[in-house]
Amino acid sequence: MDFAALKEECLACRRCGLCETRRHVVFGQGVETAEVMFVGEGPGANEDEQGLPFVGRSGQLLDRYLEAIDLDRNKNIFIANIVKCRPPENRDPTPEESAACLPWLRAQFVLLRPRIVVCLGRIAAQQLISRDFSVTKDHGKFFDKQGTLFMATLHPAALLRNPGSKPSAFGDFVALRDKINEVCDHTYPK
Ligand code: URA
């Protein structure tokens, strides 16, 4: 199975109730050879409208942090979400919805085989790193899980609500840049 085939299947998904209210499945966006993958929580209204991840205000902020460390969704990373369809009213995805959707993310991991996975916010971190993960306490730290490094940073929506956290989130991106230099082959030109 390649990315195009996986995407086609995912776009027709009816594995949970979110398919009834979505406009678009937000499969993810980025380059298929990316060594670094970002995972958010789930699409909001703008993402549901456009079918692309992180395209609203949080996405614009995320793009600025990415740009600061020479990352770009069109050049060297892949961005996805825990759930591919918008939870109504932007509520948290239910455990059932996350569980129903997780095989899509797993299939994306299998195809991409990222060296580093960056969890954006608590929902992704608790799903992918550990169930009791505290983003406030443990953001910016790298955890080796079977050869893949996982790190969590604050969700850009949280930074918009709480701009005082921006310097510590920026510190996470600087740590990410250093880690990429250490472990990735082609994310940055050598
Ligand atoms: N928030 C997320 O977690 N994901 C998106 O794609 C957009 C906003």
- Write out the chain's pLDDT in tens, 190 residues: 899 999 999 999 999 999 999 999 999 999 999 999 999 999 999 999 999 999 999 999 999 999 999 999 999 999 999 999 999 998 999 999 999 999 999 999 999 999 999 999 999 999 999 999 999 999 999 999 999 999 999 999 999 999 999 999 999 999 999 999 999 999 999 7
Question: What is the chain's percent helix, strand, coil content, to nearest 5?
Answer: 45, 15, 40
Neighbours of 135 (CB within 10 A): 23
Q: How far is the CA of 190 from the centre of ligand 1 (A)?
A: 31
In this structure, CATH architecture of domain 3-180: 3-Layer(aba) Sandwich (3.40)
Ligand 1 centroid to residue 154 C-alpha, Å: 12
Tokens representing 92 are 């948290």
Classify 179 as helix, strand or coil. Answer: helix
Closest to 114 measured CA to CA, from 74, 62, 63, 149: 149
**Cβ < 6 Å from ligand 1: which residues?**
40-44, 47, 53-54, 58-59, 81, 157
Cα 179 to middle of ligand 1, angstroms: 24
Number of Cα atoms under 13 Å in the Cβ half of residue 109: 19
∠ Cα 189 2 53 (to 5°): 65
pTM, full prediction: 0.97
